[in-house]
Amino acid sequence: ELPYRPVLTQTPPLAGLTTASTFVLDQPRCVFTGYDNASIWLVVALDKAASTFNNTVVPGTSETAFQSFPDPVPAYMTLNATLANYPCPKPAGDITVLRVGSETSCAKDEARPTCNGPLPGPGPYRVKFLALEGSEPVAETAWSAPIMLRTAKSPSSISTTDSGHSAGMIAITTILSILFAILLAGLVAMLVFWGSDSCGGSSTFSKPESVTVRRYNTHHVYDQPAARL
């Protein structure tokens, strides 16, 4: 057993270090020096099954198939690599992490028993790296500390009266009320504009009042005959 214990990566900090079905480990750089001909496997086991794992089992068989994990297979083997995949020292710019549980396409494909499929529950899990030459184990690390995954909240457990939720709802309601008021004011303004435009643009002709002209008879002055004067 080598003096190395797998750990969740810490540098650089990654988003999604643990999710509901995955977790991220540091690669075992400078751990298996001298085992150039070995295949290095990651063993993922239930916490309670780690102490009873048989390191002589052959990867890629029904005894270590991901598709049968966690029942009846309490530990599976995945992410096989060679020492060339874990160079020492680490070249600048290399990505030196492993995301366990990232393959979804082979999760139910029994033809790929070494699938790095999504983990089926929150755990806890333990992992270790195992070096095999052929089918013979030649080196292995210690088991990791128990690893717990995130759990999704049940809808019934989510409070709808907490302050954060209430403040968010108040903000949304206020914004919607303001927008509605602006829209309503705009509609009223448009109606007023259209009404005034209709009155000013049309011509209305009214029937002129009839003018009554009174007729007057003029009194004519008749010249009296000179004889009467």
User: How does pLDDT run across 90-122, given as a tens digit for each residue?
Assistant: 888 788 999 999 999 999 999 999 999 999 999
What count of other Cβ atoms lies within 10 Å of the Cβ of residue 19? 17
Q: What length does the chain have?
A: 229
Q: Does residue 185 surpass a pLDDT of 90?
A: no
Confidence (pLDDT) at 227 = 47
What count of other Cβ atoms lies within 10 Å of the Cβ of residue 30? 12
Instruction: Tell me if 144 is assigned to some domain.
Output: yes
| Domain membership of residue 145 as a residue range | 23-151
Name which residue leads in pLDDT, 148 or 201.
Answer: 148
Is 121 within 8 Å of 46 (Cβ atoms)? no
Q: What is the mean pLDDT of the chain?
A: 83
**pTM of structure:** 0.67
Instruction: Tell me if 4 is assigned to some domain.
Output: no
Residue written as tokens 């003018």?
211
What digits encode the pLDDT tens for the residues 52-89?
Answer: 999 999 999 999 999 999 999 999 999 999 999 999 98
Instruction: Tell me if 175 is assigned to some domain.
Output: no
Is 113 within 8 Å of 66 (Cβ atoms)? yes
Instruction: Tell me if 43 is assigned to some domain.
Output: yes
Instruction: Tell me if 97 is assigned to some domain.
Output: yes
Q: Does residue 17 surpass a pLDDT of 60?
A: yes
Instruction: Tell me if 104 is assigned to some domain.
Output: yes
What count of other Cβ atoms lies within 10 Å of the Cβ of residue 117? 25
Count structural domains, the chain: 1
